[in-house]
């Protein structure tokens, strides 16, 4: 099972806006966390993989065959959960999933079985006959995940799958994604960095249409060694810290001081500080809040 993205480029507005620029990737079964700021090219990449839009150049191959040539064969093994919650409010949850199953060409008998399984999976079995118009944002998010899984896809693309979910449901969905990814290629685009820190086989960081970093979470965090610090400062010192460093967390302490986590190339000698453990959130903020220079932006060997 191999999804190969070869030299993909895409521009908009008569070539003035370059969403993707000669992007190449090879993906095998596992979870791939797709991270990047708004406008980085994530949505364009997902739309090209789902064959919703065509690239200006380059191609996407599945098991060695271009997806545009595979057509229905590729769509039969593809699952896609969009970020935008466009649902039929007058449909019940069960009716909506049966409708999607029909669009995907799933036989009627199998469709009923799959709908029951998916409703159980996303913890909505008791709401099977309730109309989607009365669902909360988180419940709608779970229905979108369920429809993406109806055909037991080999390639699963999830755009912000845990948005709107409470912590318990987020962990439940995250654990499920991790479990099924042994036999699927899962691309998970999210701004909730913690959603992928413990389940991603690899993290893909893109910006302005370029892949700027790729590696396992451990490989990427290794690049932050010696660059993350915990400062113990007074509130009056905070403005100066904000001018000098990238701040990733601020915590008020009982003694009136602040524990401030920062990213810095060298130890901030002027302040009381200790080394701190880096997280993917520190990496994300460092990459997308400072000028792109230095070794941090070199590709991670894999």
| Residuewise pLDDT in 10s, the chain (302 residues) | 999 999 999 999 887 889 999 999 999 999 999 999 988 999 999 999 999 999 999 999 999 999 999 999 999 999 999 887 678 999 999 999 999 999 999 999 999 999 999 999 888 999 999 999 999 888 898 899 899 999 999 999 999 888 778 888 888 888 888 887 888 999 999 888 888 888 999 999 999 999 999 999 999 999 899 999 999 999 999 999 999 999 999 999 888 899 999 999 999 988 999 999 999 999 999 988 754 444 443 333 33
β-partners of residue 9 are 57
Question: Does the domain made of 223-297 have the CATH classification 3.30.70?
Answer: yes
pTM of the predicted protein model: 0.87
The pLDDT of residue 198 is 84
Q: DSSP assignment, residue 172?
A: H
Give the separation between CA 99 and CA 147, rounded to whole angstroms: 10
Alpha-carbon dihedral 231, 235, 237, 241, rounded to 10 degrees:
60
> What residues does 186 pair with on adjacent strands?
31, 156
- 8 A C-beta contact, residue 290 and residue 296: no
User: Which 8-state DSSP code applies to residue 297?
Assistant: G
**Model pLDDT, residue 36:** 92
- Nearest CA to 121 out of 77, 172, 80, 163 is that of 172
Separation of first and last alpha carbons in the chain: 19
Backbone angles phi, psi at 88, to 5 degrees: -90, 105
- The ranges assigned to domains in the chain are 3-221, 223-297
Fold match, 3-221 / 223-297? no
Name the region of 227 (left: φ>0; alpha: ψ -120 to 50; beta: rest): alpha
- The structural architecture, per CATH, of the domain 3-221 is 3-Layer(aba) Sandwich (3.40)
CA distance 131 to 140: 11
Question: What's the pLDDT score for residue 290?
Answer: 52
Distance CA 261, CA 176 (A): 32
The CA distance from 27 to 202, in Å, is 10
The answer to whether 21 touches 10, Cβ cutoff 8 Å, is no
Tokens read off for 95 = 């009716």
216: left (phi over 0), alpha (psi -120 to 50) or beta: beta
Rounded-to-integer distance, Cα 92 and Cα 88, Å: 8
Cα distances (Å, whole numbers) of residue 215 to 3, 140, 299: 17, 32, 8
């Amino acid at each position: 099972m191999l999804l190969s993205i070869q030299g993909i480029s895409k521009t908009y507005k008569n070539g003035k806006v370059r969403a993707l620029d000669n992007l190449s990737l090879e993906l095998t079964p596992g979870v791939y966390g797709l991270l990047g700021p708004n406008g980085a090219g994530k949505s364009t990449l997902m739309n090209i993989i789902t064959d919703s839009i065509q690239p200006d150049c380059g191609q996407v191959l599945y098991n060695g065959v271009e997806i545009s040539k595979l057509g229905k064969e590729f769509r039969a093994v593809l699952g896609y959960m969009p970020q935008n919650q466009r649902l039929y409010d007058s449909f019940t949850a069960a009716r909506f999933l049966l409708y999607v199953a029909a669009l995907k060409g799933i036989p009627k008998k199998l469709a009923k079985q799959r709908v029951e399984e998916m409703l159980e999976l996303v913890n909505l079995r008791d709401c099977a006959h309730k109309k989607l118009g009365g669902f909360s944002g988180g419940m709608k998010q779970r229905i979108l995940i369920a429809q993406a899984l109806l055909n037991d896809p080999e390639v699963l693309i999830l755009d912000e799958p845990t948005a709107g979910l409470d912590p318990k449901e987020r962990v439940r969905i995250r654990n499920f994604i991790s479990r099924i990814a042994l036999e699927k290629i899962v691309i998970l685009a999210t701004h909730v960095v913690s959603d992928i820190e413990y389940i991603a086989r690899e993290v893909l960081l893109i910006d302005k249409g370029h892949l700027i970093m790729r590696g396992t979470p451990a490989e990427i965090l290794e690049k932050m060694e010696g660059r993350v610090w915990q400062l113990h400062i007074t509130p009056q010192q905070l403005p100066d810290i904000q001018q000098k460093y990238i701040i990733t967390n601020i915590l008020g302490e009982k003694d009136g001081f602040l524990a401030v986590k920062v990213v810095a190339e060298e130890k901030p000698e002027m302040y009381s500080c200790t080394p701190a453990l880096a997280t993917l959130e520190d990496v994300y903020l460092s990459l997308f809040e400072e000028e792109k220079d230095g070794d941090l932006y070199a590709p991670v060997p894999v």
